[in-house]
Amino acid sequence: MNRVAMIVVIAAGAAGGCDRPGAGPAAHPPPSAEPAPTNRVEIPAVVRQNLGITFARVERRDVSRTLRVPGRFELTPSARQEHRVPAAGRVEVLVDQFESVQAGTVLYRLDSPRWRELQRELADARAALRLAEAAAESIAPFKAAHERHHEEIQTAVGLWTQRVASLERLRDAGGASGDEVAQARATLSASRAALAETLEKEADLVARERQAFAQLAAAGARLGILMETAASLTGLTPDELAEEAQGRPRWQSLSTIEVRATAAGVVDAVAATSGGLVEQHGLVVSVVRPEQVRFRAAALQSDLGRLTAGQSVTVVAPRGGSLDGAAPVRGTLGWAPVADASRRTIELVVTPEPGAPPPWARAGVSAFVEVIVAGGAEELAIPLACVVRDGLESIIFRRDPAGPDRAIRMQADLGADDGRWVVVRSGLAEGNEVVLDGVYQLMIATSGSIARGGHFHPDGTFHEGDK
């Protein structure tokens, strides 16, 4: 201790001896004090913009109870409508691929020889129906005339019956000759024969009436069947085909068949070219309704015991890019009836709630389904993308509550994660902000230089120290 004091006194005396008259100023200025060690880095607004730095808030979540399964959206079976030609012919396509169409939009026209044949069959059936109607309508006047003729003969038979009886009484009294009685009986017999013929003709008229109405019904049925066939070919209803314009039914004036969209959607594919020949049932245009989607994912069979069919789940977009923070899709969980034994997985299917899904939920888009399972509790959590590795350490950058233009590098005290969110055991409070996008750049800039601190220039370059 005395030695150390002696060294200090000698050093002080030597320094004092240098302070003499005529001595110049010291050759070197006294060294400046070293900055205190810091884990803070300056990130002003210009730097945040250049590096694309964004922040995520610390929030409470059921991380340990959340089962997240990756998957993709797909179209429902009823979302796609294929428009095929009902008969072979030449097509004229009127829409382009990816064009939006409304219900009733004409997709293509078909010029088919089969439609010409059907028009001829319709004309023949229509003529046959008219003939059958005329035949059926003519039966009623015949029956009326026959009824009048029958009544007259019936009256004549009655009169001649009375005449014969009267003559027979007169003959018995001696007032009438036998020739008169015989002549009256002959006339009565002739009248009775005529009455029998009218009865026979009446039976014939009944048969003709039944035949006429049967032919009328058959002609009407044949025309109805042909109209239904025409409706299937044209896409119009029989009533629309039967509408008359300028004295002609609509089916007779149609030279080509126009195929229209049955619902609003987007043209997914055009399988034929305008002017080309297409065989019967050949595909021409397919239209999809992109909003009719469902979510499909493959879960491990070991998680089956934690899932319940019919429970409410949430489908969330992957983090990063423009979909970060997009509105989730809520729906009902279901699964396939048969699992995959080789992969030890089972397909999960999420049916979205009624209503149009968010615009990002389209067929082929990858996402995650979040299923809340039993157990666990809400804990402080941050997005897993906020954590970056620096060697063996897990690092996060908290936005300084005292200065929003500074970030504080911290060693993360992490807990369980679900692949998207991770529990933070200490160092953060609910509502704090942590760096999300740009965390890797901050880690690179501060790796190995935490004690000296540093700052970013507006152009995004990092320099150690405060100046």
Which residues are CB-contacts of 353 (< 8 A; sequence separation ≥ 6)?
A: 330, 331, 332
Instruction: Name beta bridge partners: 383.
Output: 421
Neighbours of 430 (CB within 10 A): 10
Tokens 């899709």 map to which residue?
A: 329
Strand runs labelled E in 325-392: 329-335, 345-352, 366-372, 379-383, 388-390
Distance (Å, rounded) from C-alpha 98 to C-alpha 268?
6
* DSSP characters over 16-64: HHT--TT----SSPPPPPPPPP--EEE--HHHHHHHT--EEE-EEE-TT
One-letter amino acid for residue 430 of the chain = E
Tokens 């429902």 map to which residue?
A: 76
Q: Which of 69, 65, 66, 68 is nearest to 298 (CA)?
A: 69
Distance (Å, rounded) from C-alpha 239 to C-alpha 236?
8
- Model confidence at 109, pLDDT cuts 50, 70, 90, reads very high
The pLDDT assigned to 452 comes to 47
pTM of the predicted protein model: 0.60
- Mean pLDDT on 112-123: 93
- Residue 38 C-alpha from the chain's centroid: 56
Q: Which of 404, 406, 426 is nearest to 415 (CA)?
A: 426
Q: Is the pLDDT of residue 246 over 90?
A: no
Would you say 372 and 421 are in contact if contact means Cβ atoms under 8 Å apart? no
- Output the average pLDDT for the chain: 81
Q: C-alpha distances in angstroms, 249 versus 86, 245, 254, 353, 370?
A: 22, 6, 9, 47, 60
Tokens of 206: 């009944």
Q: Is the pLDDT of residue 36 over 60?
A: no
Higher pLDDT, 459 or 126: 126
Buried b or exposed e, range 99-133, using 16+ CB within 10 angstroms: eebeeebebbbbebebbeebbebbeebbebbeebe
- Mean pLDDT on 74-91: 94
| Top-ranked range on mean pLDDT: pick from 112-116, 184-188, 453-457 | 112-116
The pLDDT assigned to 208 comes to 78
- Model confidence at 462, pLDDT cuts 50, 70, 90, reads low
- H helices of 338-418, in order, are none
- Point out the least confidently predicted range of 5-14, 77-86, 261-270: 5-14
Q: C-alpha distances in angstroms, 406 versus 48, 179, 402?
A: 10, 148, 9
Higher pLDDT, 190 or 171: 190
Q: pLDDT tens digits for 191-242?
A: 777 777 777 677 777 777 888 888 889 999 999 999 999 998 888 899 999 9
Q: Is the pLDDT of residue 20 over 60?
A: no
Q: Is the pLDDT of residue 413 over 50?
A: yes
Q: Is the pLDDT of residue 461 over 70?
A: no
Tokens of 412: 């993360």
